[in-house]
């Protein structure tokens, strides 16, 4: 599944807007003291579902962005959003009522449809965390623990590269997409790095989230029954990210 162009455009805008502000960090030594820094991040990862989500989807990727503030006490506050895509669909029979006796799906032109099924979704959380430095020479880098709470949704995505399939267009597609929404909790454990030159700032670690979710469709057309709810959905992933700090400009120095 392709990532939406609008989402990629938003990420690119963040990169361009932050390029100059990140450069103002040059000349600031992260080894001198714990720095106050608002920042913007872009991140991505690869994860796998668990619980009820694991029965429906397997491994998939995600990308996202966020905005946080790091305080002089090494506390973190902010929020982030992620877009999940390409999750392997494990649940069988999603289109069973549309298939021919030989197990094929026919498009509007009477041809065998070339269709890819996968899972996609999104999650948004408000976060708080704490950084634990590993060395006195750099009190702005170390082990980062984050927790958050927010919302999550996911659904089956149908990628058709050939002719139209009326049954998988609005308003009929809602009878097959298994749209699910709920409230989520998120945890992150990893390493946070801030460089002296202000240019190489990154983080990486393990992200977990768990959610209490509810099916949003009144009935699935393939089973003629609604999904059972509530559900317990969870995901574990490896996540890496790049950070753009927004420092206040230092006063120019004058030499006499």
Cβ atoms of 90 and 117 within 8 Å: the answer is no
Spell out the residues 6+ positions from residue 106 whose beta carbon is closer than 8 angstroms to its own: 100, 112, 113
pLDDT at 86 (0 to 100): 96
Q: State the Cα–Cα distance between residues 53 and 67, nearest whole angstrom.
A: 28
pLDDT at 30 (0 to 100): 79
The size of the chain, in residues, is 256
| CATH of the structural domain 5-16+39-245, one choice from 1.10.10.10, 3.10.180.10, 1.10.599.10, 2.40.160.20 | 2.40.160.20
pLDDT at 32 (0 to 100): 75
pLDDT at 12 (0 to 100): 47
pLDDT at 208 (0 to 100): 98
Comparing CA positions, the residue from 75, 80, 60, 114 lying closest to residue 238 is 60
Task: Identify the segments of the chain with pLDDT beneath 70.
Answer: 1-29, 248-256
Which DSSP category does 252 fall into?
P
pLDDT at 5 (0 to 100): 52
Q: State the Cα–Cα distance between residues 26 and 62, nearest whole angstrom.
A: 31
Spell out the residues 6+ positions from residue 102 whose beta carbon is closer than 8 angstroms to its own: none
């Amino acid at each position: 599944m392709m990532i939406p162009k609008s989402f990629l455009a938003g990420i690119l805008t963040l990169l361009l807007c932050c390029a100059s502000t990140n450069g103002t960090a040059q000349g600031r030594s992260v080894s001198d003291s714990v720095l106050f820094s608002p920042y913007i991040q872009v991140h991505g990862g690869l994860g796998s579902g668990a619980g009820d989500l694991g029965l429906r989807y397997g491994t998939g990727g995600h990308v996202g962005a966020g905005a946080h503030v790091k305080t002089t006490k090494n506390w973190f506050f902010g929020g982030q959003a992620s877009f999940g895509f390409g999750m392997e669909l494990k649940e069988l029979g999603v289109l069973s009522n549309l298939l021919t006796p030989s197990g094929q799906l026919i498009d509007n032109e009477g041809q065998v449809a070339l269709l890819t099924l996968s899972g996609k979704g999104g999650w948004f959380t408000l976060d708080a965390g704490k950084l634990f430095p590993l060395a006195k020479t750099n009190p702005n880098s170390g082990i980062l623990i984050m927790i958050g709470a927010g919302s999550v949704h996911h659904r089956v995505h149908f990628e058709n590269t050939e002719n139209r399939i009326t049954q998988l267009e609005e308003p009929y597609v809602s009878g097959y997409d298994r749209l699910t929404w709920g409230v989520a909790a998120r945890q992150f454990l990893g390493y946070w790095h801030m460089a002296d030159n202000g240019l190489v700032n990154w983080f990486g670690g393990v992200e977990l989230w768990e959610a209490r979710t509810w099916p949003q469709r009144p009935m699935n057309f393939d089973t003629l029954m609604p999904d059972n709810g509530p559900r317990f959905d969870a995901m574990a992933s490896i996540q890496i990210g790049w950070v753009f700090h927004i420092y206040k400009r230092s006063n120019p120095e004058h030499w006499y």
